[in-house]
Amino acid sequence: MSLERSYKLQTEVENNPTLVGYQALVGEEMMYLKEKYDAIMRFRRQKEELEETKRKLLLEREKLTADRFFRELTLEEQEDYNEKWLALLKEYTKRKEILTYLASYSPADYKVADLVAVAHWLDTWSTFFTETERNLRELRQVEKSVSSATPVLSTQVLYDALDNVCRLQLQARSAIGRERYRRSALGDEAIEDFLDSQQQLMGWCRKQRETLEELSTLEDLAAFSDSFQKNIPVMDSNFTVLLDQGEPLADNERIQCALQELNEEWVQLCLMNYEKLQDAVREVHMNSPLEAGCAAWMSSVESKAKEFLTEAQTFLQASGKTSAKGGELAATCETLVNQQDAFSVIATHLSDFTVRDDCVRPLVDALKNELTTPFTLSVLSLSDTEDYEGRQEYRNRLEELRDWVEVKSQKGTYLRLQERLEETKAMIQEYADALFPDEPAPSNESSPIDLSFHEGEEDEI
């Protein structure tokens, strides 16, 4: 079975088309395709077997090559290795317990904590990390130099323990840093800065009240209200900034009084704007015949107008089929009918405006009394009154995310770099021994590569 045989059968079928000929051609082509598929699958299996054999040979070669550098530890070296390994694990365990305890502190606990004693384990971190990294590197070199026949305690356990200590150290450092910042903000200078900001906002509110007192016409009051409404988000933002600035100083009595004073000034400005605008609208309304006209419309004209528009719409819809002018009038009448209900609602509200205003005024007075009570002003002075819980949780999640990024950026990165460097050195040594077997191997102690951190550099990694 071959492609040539298929071409021959195809030529015969084209010259003498018969059922038997076509069946023979199809059978030959199917056999050809099957043989081609079997050849492809056989090639793939042979390729996989070749790759597996190649992998086994490479592993065997690496093992044979590595055995050239392996050595047996003496009893003294074994004891020294175990002693250093256990000392590091003990140190990591102790620091883990202490840092776990510090990380469990609540903000209230940090407020009364002795930061000098608490921060000792963080302030000595740079020295500790430099020394422990050097010891780990020495143990790692010993571990990689011994043969499999001499098992030693794995340094990976120490690396994992050190990573956990690093993570806890970052969490505790972040919490202590925030508490240090909070305490630094409790000085007289911070209080004066807060009071200066509060006085600026107080001055703006008083200036707005002075401007408002001079206005009397409805047009001027409406223009002032529009401008005031646009300034509300700005004032809210400024007040939020002031609250954040005063949050570390919340226990100070002067700060509490300043916040209540500012809240009272702001509430009085808002109430004054509303009352003056309400009085101006009522005065204009009382001097206008609009309410009487709307009442007369609703009592005597509204039903007749609706009936007239309905009859006119029916008539115009019938005549609009033969006249273009009639169709235009029918569309206008339909629009008026559709707007009739909305117009009736507006006219009804305007016809009893005075009654509704008289009903609302006592409620406004009651609301004013509640808003100006000392309790309400104290509540408004709390940080993030409306969404404190949500914003506080959001801030906590941001802090956790920042700590997580710091941990991930440090966790294992330097250690993996150290391991890759050691592997590169071993590879260079292997090729050097193969190319120059007669030359003595360079001593590892002649020019060590120092990758230890310097003071303060662990924060940048």
Each residue's pLDDT expressed in tens, for the chain with a length of 461 residues: 566 777 777 788 778 888 877 778 778 778 878 888 888 888 889 988 988 888 888 877 766 655 555 667 778 888 888 999 999 999 999 988 888 888 777 777 777 677 777 777 777 888 888 898 889 888 888 888 776 666 788 888 998 888 888 888 887 887 777 777 767 766 677 788 888 888 998 999 999 999 999 998 989 999 999 988 888 888 888 888 888 777 777 777 888 888 889 889 999 999 999 999 988 988 888 888 887 888 887 877 777 777 787 777 777 777 655 566 767 777 788 788 777 778 888 888 888 878 888 888 888 888 888 888 877 777 666 554 444 455 556 666 666 666 666 655 555 554 565 566 666 766 666 666 655 555 544 444 433 333 333 333 333 32
| Prediction pTM value | 0.43
The Cβ of residue 397 has, within 10 Å, a number of other Cβ atoms equal to: 10
Supply 354's token pair: 């005075």
Is residue 345 classed exposed, middle or buried when 0-12, 13-18 and 19+ CB atoms within 10 A define those classes?
exposed
**pLDDT (0 to 100) of residue 436:** 56
Backbone φ and ψ of 71, nearest 5°:
-145, 170
**pLDDT (0 to 100) of residue 272:** 92
**pLDDT (0 to 100) of residue 299:** 78
Q: Contact 265/205 with Cβ under 8 angstroms?
A: yes
DSSP assignment letter at 150? S
Distance between CA atoms of 433 and 49, rounded to whole angstroms? 33
Q: Contact 197/245 with Cβ under 8 angstroms?
A: yes
Supply 138's token pair: 């020495």
The residues with which 71 forms a beta bridge, in sequence order, are 146
Distance between CA atoms of 51 and 269, rounded to whole angstroms? 84
> Considering just the CA atoms, what is the radius of gyration of the chain in Å?
44
- Closest Cα to residue 205, out of 244, 240, 231? 231
Is residue 141 classed exposed, middle or buried when 0-12, 13-18 and 19+ CB atoms within 10 A define those classes?
middle
- Closest Cα to residue 259, out of 269, 249, 272? 249
* 3.40.50.450, 2.40.40.20, 1.10.3720.10, 1.20.58.60: CATH of 188-287: 1.20.58.60
